[in-house]
């Protein structure tokens, strides 16, 4: 047991104290054992749960899940405070300093911004200066490799487009996507191993990258588009499975296609 006074409502300082006590002597054995790597996945899962609450516009869930994400932030900061490298105060100061630096049009500076588009342009310029990125290649390398691949591809394509490396229009990008699909077909028809040069993995990756590029050029978030496609597939498959009078494995190709067409028709 630790020396702690329970309250009906806790504040920011209380929360930091709770996390410190959980990690300290007499605290929780599980919390005390955790490292950055052991709770890394928890951070990601909690973030996705926030996004789910946002998509559902569920205020109660948002409040709870945002708290869970905050707990992860404080957990990692507490681990670092124990190591003497930085504290939660340093985290708060760092992000506050960043917000002031990247909003010179609000807090005073030479840059002006009369609309949101100019704000984003200034933000990117200041970000590159702040991080010492001397080229677009440096900026691309800074895109987290841990992002979902479609999202990483879209951000990469966006940065190169701003540097002037782009297709003339979306239709030109679509033609490139069709070219990549043809190369994927050739790799499959040639029976190449997935991991050999110009094999299925490489060509499939090229096709997916161009699909993400097309999304970037048309203003469509490829990650969102794929999620919507998954939702649509889920709905259609449920219709097919419920409509079949026998196990799907026992259905003929023609029967399955008929059920699939019926699933599509019932959407309209």
Q: pLDDT by residue (tens digit) across 146-204?
A: 889 999 999 999 989 988 999 999 999 999 999 999 999 999 999 988 999 999 999 99
Between residues 215 and 122, the one the model is more confident about: 215
pLDDT digits (tens, 9 = 90+) for 226-268: 999 999 999 999 999 999 999 999 999 999 999 999 999 998 7
Looking at residue 128, its pLDDT comes to 80
Contact 75, 37 (CB under 8 A): no
Residue 1 has pLDDT above 80, yes or no: no
pLDDT reported for residue 124:
77
Do the domains at 12-101 and 146-220 have one common CATH topology?
A: yes
User: For 86-221, where are the alpha helices, taking DSSP H only?
Assistant: 88-101, 104-107, 116-130, 136-141, 149-162, 170-189, 200-218
Predicted local confidence at residue 2, as pLDDT: 84
Q: What is the 3-state secondary structure (H, E, C) of 14-52?
A: HHHHHHHHHHCCCCCHHHHHCCCCCCHHHHHHHHHHHHH
Please check the confidence at residue 63 and state whether its pLDDT lies above 90.
Answer: yes
**C-beta separation of 125 from 110 below 8 A:** no
Residue 126 CB-density burial (10 A; 0-12 exposed, 13-18 middle, 19+ buried): middle
Q: Which CATH superfamily is domain 146-220 in?
A: MazG-like (1.10.287.1080)
The domain segmentation of the chain, as residue ranges, is 12-101, 146-220, 228-265
In this structure, the dihedral spanned by the alpha carbons of residues 245, 246, 248 and 252, taken in order and rounded to 10 degrees, is: -80
Which residue shows structure tokens 């469509």? 220
Task: Tell me the CATH class for 12-101.
Answer: mainly alpha
């Amino acid at each position: 047991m630790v020396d702690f006074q329970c309250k009906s409502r806790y504040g920011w300082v209380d929360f930091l104290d709770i996390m410190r006590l959980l990690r300290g002597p007499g605290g929780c054995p599980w919390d005390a054992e955790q490292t950055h790597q052991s709770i890394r996945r928890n951070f990601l899962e909690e973030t996705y749960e926030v996004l789910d609450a946002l998509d559902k516009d569920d205020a109660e869930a948002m409040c709870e899940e945002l708290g869970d994400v905050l707990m992860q932030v404080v957990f990692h900061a507490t681990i670092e405070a124990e190591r003497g490298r930085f504290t939660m105060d340093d985290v708060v100061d760092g992000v506050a300093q960043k917000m002031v630096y990247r909003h010179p049009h609000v807090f005073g500076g030479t840059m002006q911004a009369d609309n949101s588009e100019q704000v984003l342009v200034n933000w990117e310029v200041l970000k590159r200066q702040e991080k010492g990125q001397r080229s677009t290649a440096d900026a691309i390398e800074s895109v987290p490799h841990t992002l979902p691949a479609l999202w990483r591809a879209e951000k990469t394509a966006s940065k190169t487009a701003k540097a002037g490396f782009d297709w003339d229009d979306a239709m030109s990008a679509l033609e490139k996507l069709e070219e990549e699909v043809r190369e994927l077909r050739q790799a499959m028809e040639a029976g190449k191993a997935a991991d050999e040069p110009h094999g299925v993995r490489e060509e499939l990756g090229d096709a997916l990258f161009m699909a993400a590029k097309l999304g970037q050029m048309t203003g469509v978030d490829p990650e969102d588009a794929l999620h919507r496609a998954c939702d649509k597939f889920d709905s259609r498959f449920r219709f097919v499975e419920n409509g079949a009078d026998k196990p799907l494995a026992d259905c003929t190709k023609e029967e399955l296609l008929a059920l699939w067409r019926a699933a599509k028709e019932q959407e309209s």
